[in-house]
A and B are shown apart, each in its own frame.
Chain A
Amino acid sequence: MNLDFSFLSWGVVQSFVLKGLVFSIQLTLIAMVGGIVLGTLLALMRLSGKPWLVVPAAAYVNTMRSIPLVMVILWFFLLIPLLIGRPLGAELSAMVTFTLFEAAYYSEIMRAGIQSVPKGQVYAGYAVGMTYRQTMQLVVLPQAFRNMLPVLLTQTIILFQDTSLVYAIGAYDLLKGFEIAGKNFNRPVETYLVAAVIYFVICFSLSMLVKRLQNRIAIIR
């Protein structure tokens, strides 16, 4: 079997792949920002010591973490229209799903990050007259965030890889773009190969960047 990549011109990339790549990146960024915000809230709930906050947050995180992502994607695709009374479309549904799903994983990271801040920092905050909110916002969370930055970014790389699973509901992402191009030119082998290379290049270079960042932070600390 001979590989023939000649059909892959800039025009083909532009008309099939680019749209998918944009969506994959969009989905990753939205789920990252939304997931970290929600995840931090969940982590604060779990560390609050108040049972009526701890129990629901723990239940949410543990449930999300024990269901396969594909099933979660299908669940939301099924349930959101039942709840809001109209179909949401695969792309929007994916954004909601990934934000809520990743929040569970980010919350575990943020929980570890908050716990890594020495207790004395919290007492110091209270001692100078700060409220709970101020202590968290100005003292604890910035440090937790900084300590966990490499882990948060690594999770984001995993998230970017996982966006390919929107395949299950037919959303148009990077992989889908390659797949459709492959079908149109009857060259599925080449397009899957190129897709793998592109994913590898993106994820590998991002993980190298994270590694460098990690070394940098380690030196300052």
Chain B
Amino acid sequence: MAWDWQVFCKETTSGEQVASCFGRGGDITYLDWMLSAWGWTLSVASLALIVALVTGSLVGILRTTPDKRLVFFGNTWTELFRNIPLLVQIFLWYHVLPALIPVLKGFPSFVLVVFALGFFTSARISEQVRAGIQSLPRGQRYAGLAMGLTLPQTYRYVLLPMAFRIIIPPLTSESMNIVKNSSVAFAVSISELTLFAMQAGEETSRNVEVYLAATAAYFVSAFAINRVALFIENLVRVPGMIGAK
């Protein structure tokens, strides 16, 4: 089977080759389409990551507080979002919630997917945040409280700065997972990389080339996140700990 990478320079509606590989005016080539799909993948993933980090940290913190009700709420949240498949959760946000809560009907599916993916991942992040906080010696919490810090202050100045540094490696792999998991958004017609691969592959009958390109794009995105996370890890290293310079 011969390769045909020229397929990316084709115009999407007429199928004509475009010399520059980028469409002009209102026309787009398959390359243009793929880059825009890559953009959608990255936007879904990065916005969902923000949602996941914020809610996941919050829920994780709640699960380590002395208040039993807050712990129960945190545990319920985590079990709920961890035990339903992502695809089903996306369908819940897309089909079920707007029917139950009419306000959501006005939301574009992009926003719904961001929340679905974000909350799904928040359950995993809350596990890591909880584990990070619990890995600290209990004395640190007591020391903070004994010095007269309030509980929120103890978290802010004593526990969290250490806990977050400890869990950077698992958070990194979770961030890479979120890029991979964003591929499930194809199911509600977000035009991200997977949907691009399915549709462009069908239109051009050049499945292998199109899939390879999309897969490479996922590779590159995940690798980039890995590098950024490594950079952050180096930046916030605690002197004197294992792995510090």
Could you list which residues of chain A lie within 8 angstroms of chain B, going by C-beta atoms?
A: 1, 66-71, 74-75, 78-79, 82, 157, 161-162, 164-165, 167-168, 175, 188-189, 192-193, 195-196, 199-200, 203-204, 207
Interface set, chain B 150-190, CB cutoff 8 A to A: 176, 179-184, 186-187
Closest to A1 in B: B99
Known contacts A67-B215, A68-B218, A75-B211; decide if A193 and B96 are in contact (CB<8 Å).
Answer: yes
Report the bound CA distance from A193 to B183 in whole Å. Answer: 22
Q: A residues within 8 A CB of B182?
A: 68
Q: A residues within 8 A CB of B83?
A: 157, 161, 199-200, 203-204, 207
Report the bound CA distance from A183 to B199 in whole Å. Answer: 24
Closest to B198 in A: A74
Count B interface residues, CB 8 Å: 40
Please determine whether B96 and A71 come into contact, CB atoms closer than 8 angstroms. Answer: no
Closest to A166 in B: B87
Is B49's CB within 8 Å of the partner chain A? Answer: no
Q: A residues within 8 A CB of B89?
A: 196
Please determine whether A74 and B208 come into contact, CB atoms closer than 8 angstroms. Answer: no
Please determine whether A74 and B88 come into contact, CB atoms closer than 8 angstroms. Answer: no
Please determine whether A78 and B198 come into contact, CB atoms closer than 8 angstroms. Answer: no
Report the bound CA distance from A75 to B218 in whole Å. Answer: 14
Q: Which 4 A-B pairs have the closest CB atoms?
A: A68-B183, A203-B83, A161-B85, A68-B180
Count A-B pairs with CB separation below 8 Å.
103
Sampled A-B contacts (16; CB under 8 Å): A66-B180, A68-B181, A68-B218, A75-B211, A82-B1, A162-B85, A175-B85, A189-B95, A189-B100, A193-B92, A196-B88, A196-B91, A196-B96, A199-B84, A200-B83, A204-B83
Please determine whether A167 and B211 come into contact, CB atoms closer than 8 angstroms. Answer: no
Q: B residues within 8 A CB of A70?
A: 183-184, 186, 194
Report the bound CA distance from A162 to B184 in whole Å. Answer: 11
Known contacts A66-B218, A68-B183, A189-B95; decide if A200 and B87 are in contact (CB<8 Å).
Answer: no
Please determine whether B218 and A164 come into contact, CB atoms closer than 8 angstroms. Answer: no
